[in-house]
Chain A
Amino acid sequence: MNRILSYSFSLLFLLLLTASVKGQCLNISLFESTDSVYMYHTLLDAYSFHFSGIMAIKKIDNTHRIIFSTETGSTLFDFTLTKNKCKANYVMKAMNNALFLALIKSDIKDLLQTYKYKKNYAKRVQEEVVNNETIEYNQSGDKGVIHSKEIYLRFSKNNEIKKIITFQFNSNEQMSESTISITHQNMPITIEMTAFSNAGE
């Protein structure tokens, strides 16, 4: 009888624990509305390249379309992002440098990834290890607003960990009023994005 009781308690405890862990997890999906086009005035600096313009992001079915054009309207690049791949539909010739494009594609992929993190932690809410990369998400407050995401690279040779990219967000959940700053720690690459609306259908 005692054994049955202790089993029951253990089961109940396990159930409660599972529930509380589930309660702590919150999935945040940025850029996920298929009704909105997310618009950012964007400054992109990479080595000697400098570009500024409008970054438009839209979720279409299960893909994201990202179009970056100059203020005066010329398209600089047009990418389609699927789960694992960022495909270039168009890149202006002057921007068509293989290394530069690979870096920008990688940043956009990292930016648009679905965020998962635990609530109720002021800092380092979750570490995610993907291949050799460690990703840290930080949040401010408890309303699901992420304020930064940092990507670390673990070097297999000496197991050293180095921060390589910081994504700084100042945003609400809908990303409607936001600034995003992407900074590479070991390369002169920065992307500054400021949201705006007032676009017509």
Chain B
Amino acid sequence: MNKIISLSVLLFISMVMIAQTALPTKDIELVKQKIAASSKNMNTMQSSFTQEKYMSVMSQKIQSKGMFYFKKQNQVRWEYTEPYKYIIVLSNGKIQIKDDKKVSEYDMNSNKAFKQINDMMIQLVQGNVLNNPAYTIKYLDAGTTYLLEMIPTDKKLKAMFSKIQLNFDKTSYEVASFKMIESNNDYTLVKFINRKQNAIVDASKFELK
């Protein structure tokens, strides 16, 4: 009897483990096409977001939140409301930053690191990274989402991230969250909440005064 119980428990644990593990997607091409179509149709996006930065050496998470706005081509506004107020706008080759004190403006090319990170994040938000040769991508089925595990092959990206995980909603094929994992296992997880696609986003959102 005991043997049967322990076998059942083992079977149950195995089933739970299988359920939690993302499995390879069967129809990669279909997923790719759907994501590409969703990305192509996205002209604007606005969404609340939460962000979690985990620093393993300090056993610490920094949690922040705010609003995100995007408009084709490459206009982005990250507006942090907690734990500090901070707005960063990227538009027309310039970076504008608003903190408590002032608005600062910089040429995007004067800060290559920022440009590189920003370009990558725009691609992540739009979901149009699938044909980027800078990554090898695994397509996984994670229950309610498709999980794309992107391993950088590009030297510069490799130095920054060991892996990027993108989660796509299974019905809308929009990016629900992304997680950028660094080589020391520190990570940044961004989740979009109440995401609205193609709603009107006023041009003034991309100009700080």
Contact = CB atoms under 8 A, between A and B. Distances in A.
Interface residues of A, number: 37
Nearest to A179: B100
B83 A196 contact: yes
Contacts of A75: 160, 182, 186
B82 A198 contact: yes
Contact of A72 (B104, B110, B121, B156): B121
B108 to A, nearest CB: 11
Contact of A74 (B52, B100, B160): B160
Interface stretch (A12-20, A48-56, A100-108): A48-56
Nearest to B62: A199
A48 B78 CA distance: 23
Interface stretch (B14-22, B111-119, B126-134, B138-146): B111-119
Contacts of B187: 73
Interface stretch (A88-96, A110-118, A128-136): A88-96
A194 B187 CA distance: 23
Nearest to B63: A200
A200 B61 contact: yes
Interface in A185-201: 192, 194, 196-201
B149 to A, nearest CB: 18
Interface in B30-77: 51-53, 55, 57-64
A180 interface: no
B112 A94 contact: yes
A28 B55 CA distance: 27
Contacts of A197: 83
Q: B59, B64, B156, B184 — which one has the most chain A CB atoms within 10 A of its CB?
A: B64
A43 B106 CA distance: 13
Interface string A61-104: 00001010111111110100000000000101111000000000
A103 B160 CA distance: 23
Given A37-B58, A56-B55, A67-B58, A94 B110 contact: no
Contacts of B175: none
B62 A56 contact: yes
Contacts, number: 100
Interface in A5-61: 37, 39, 41, 43, 48-52, 54, 56, 58, 60
Interface in B170-187: 180, 182, 184, 186-187
B111 A94 contact: yes
Contacts of B160: 74-75, 92
Interface string B74-113: 0000101011101010000000010111001010001111
A72 B86 CA distance: 11
A78 B159 CA distance: 14
A199 B60 contact: yes
A75 B112 CA distance: 14
B157 to A, nearest CB: 11
Contacts of B111: 49-51, 94
Nearest to B66: A71
Nearest to B52: A200
Nearest to B160: A74
Contact of B180 (A73, A78, A201): A73
A52 B186 contact: no
Given A56-B55, A65-B58, A67-B55, A199 B63 contact: yes
11 contacts: A41-B86, A51-B111, A65-B57, A69-B53, A72-B188, A78-B57, A92-B159, A93-B113, A94-B114, A198-B83, A199-B62
Interface of B: 51-53, 55, 57-64, 78, 80, 82-84, 86, 88, 97, 99-101, 104, 106, 110-114, 116-117, 121, 156, 159-160, 180, 182, 184, 186-188, 190
The 5 closest A-B pairs by CB, nearest first: A73-B188, A94-B113, A198-B83, A200-B61, A196-B83
